[in-house]
Amino acid sequence: MDGFASLKMFIEHTLTIRCSNYKEDYIKRRLLSRMRSTNSASYEDYLAYLKANPPELENLRNALTINVTEFFRDADVYDSIKKEILPALFKERKRLRIWCAGCSTGEEPYSLAMMLAELMAHDPGISAQIFATDIDKVVLAKAQEGIYTSKAMVKLSEKQIHRHFTRLPEGNYKVKPTLQELIRFRPHDLMSGVPVSRWLDLIICRNVTIYFNEKQKDALVKMFHEALVSGGFYIMGKTEYLGRQVEDLFVAHNSLQKIYSKKN
Ligand SMILES: C[S@@+](CC[C@H](N)C(=O)[O-])C[C@H]1O[C@@H](n2cnc3c(N)ncnc32)[C@H](O)[C@@H]1O
């Protein structure tokens, strides 16, 4: 069996992703991008790297299923956002500006909006605006439409579903306008700068930078740093990390959950 076939078998078995569902060219392109990022010279090298570095499995999964997302992805991170980050930010100002960069089909900004709506219900004096962007207009259109299958709703409580969604006749769920009003969706390439005026309180850019090289990642982190207010937060995906060139720009609030605050 050649290196590519062994790697495919490993992916099918370990990640339970059916490679045959994708064009071979596509799989090869995605694999090559991960191989470049991990300095693997061949399929065999990359397979050995994967076996020796389990966190890379998640990077590969994301690379193969580019737009994958879910409501409250990494529950512990959302728990910290709700219990620590949002209350800390609301202490500083009554109206928050949040940027959700690389929002895919919208589950991430809607999860944030649900938490904000719950906090706002307890304190009518506070409010927030979420700017949600993605380079992919197809996923963004889905996000804007806000219709999800019942399978996509598994992480939501009955209460959240009842409060924020309307059940459609065919069994799907549509986000209520009260939640949608908190979010502005807009197509945007992260490589082209900040899409809104600065002074952001929170930037969530999770599981996006794994497609970027080190130079691009560092430039992005510098851009986020400049766009945040002093003491603002930047949250990245759990398998992402701050490069050496930029790690001094932030202080870890929770390094496992990859929650950082801007150093002044
Ligand atoms: C794996 S999804 C992550 C979705 C969500 N942030 C999450 O963690 O669940 C990555 C998203 O990043 C978007 N993306 C990739 N490159 C981008 C770029 N240069 N600018 C903006 N979005 C980008 C993709 O279109 C995709 O929707």
Q: Which has the minimum average pLDDT: 110-119, 137-146, 250-259? A: 137-146
What region does 129 belong to: left with phi over 0, alpha with psi -120 to 50, or beta? beta
Over residues 47-65, the pLDDT tens digits come to 999 999 998 998 888 788 7
User: Tens of pLDDT along 174-190?
Assistant: 999 999 999 999 999 88
Average pLDDT in the chain? 92
The fraction of the chain above a pLDDT of 70, given in percent, is 99
With beta carbons less than 8 A apart as the criterion, state whether 155 and 93 touch. no
Mean pLDDT across the stretch 53-79? 89
Q: Who lines ligand 1 at CB under 6 A?
A: 62, 66-69, 73, 102-104, 108, 134-136, 139, 189-191, 206-208, 211, 237
The better pLDDT of the pair 65, 251 is held by 251
Question: Which pLDDT value is given to residue 21?
Answer: 65
Residue 212: per-residue pLDDT? 76
Mean pLDDT computed over 130-148: 93
**For 204-232, b where at least 16 C-beta lie within 10 A, e where not — what string?**
bbbbbbbbbeeeebbbbbebbbebbbeeb
Ligand 1 probe mutation, 131, 134, 236, most atoms within 8 A of CB: 134
pLDDT confidence bin for 107, thresholds 50/70/90:
very high
- Residue 122 Cα to ligand 1 middle (Å): 32
d(CA 215, CA 123): 42
Amino acid letter, 16: T
CA distance 80 to 72: 12
Q: Which CATH number fits domain 75-262: 3.30.210.10, 3.40.50.150, 3.30.1300.10, 2.70.50.60?
A: 3.40.50.150
CA distance 191 to 63: 18
- Alpha-carbon distance of 10 to 179, in angstroms, equals 41
Q: What atom in ligand 1 is closest to the CA of residue 204?
A: 6
CA of 23 to the centre of ligand 1 (A): 21
Q: Which tens digit of pLDDT belongs to each residue from 163-176?
A: 999 999 999 999 99
In contact, 146 and 177? CB cutoff 8 Å: no
Sorted by where each begins, the domain ranges of the chain are: 3-64, 75-262
User: pLDDT-based confidence at 25, cuts 50/70/90?
Assistant: confident
Pocket probe mutation, ligand 1, options 104, 110, 138, 257, max atoms within 8 Å of Cβ? 104
What pTM did the predictor assign?
Answer: 0.84
Model confidence at 211: pLDDT above 70: no
Confidence of residue 17 (pLDDT cuts 50, 70, 90): confident
Alpha carbon of 91 to ligand 1 centroid (Å)? 30
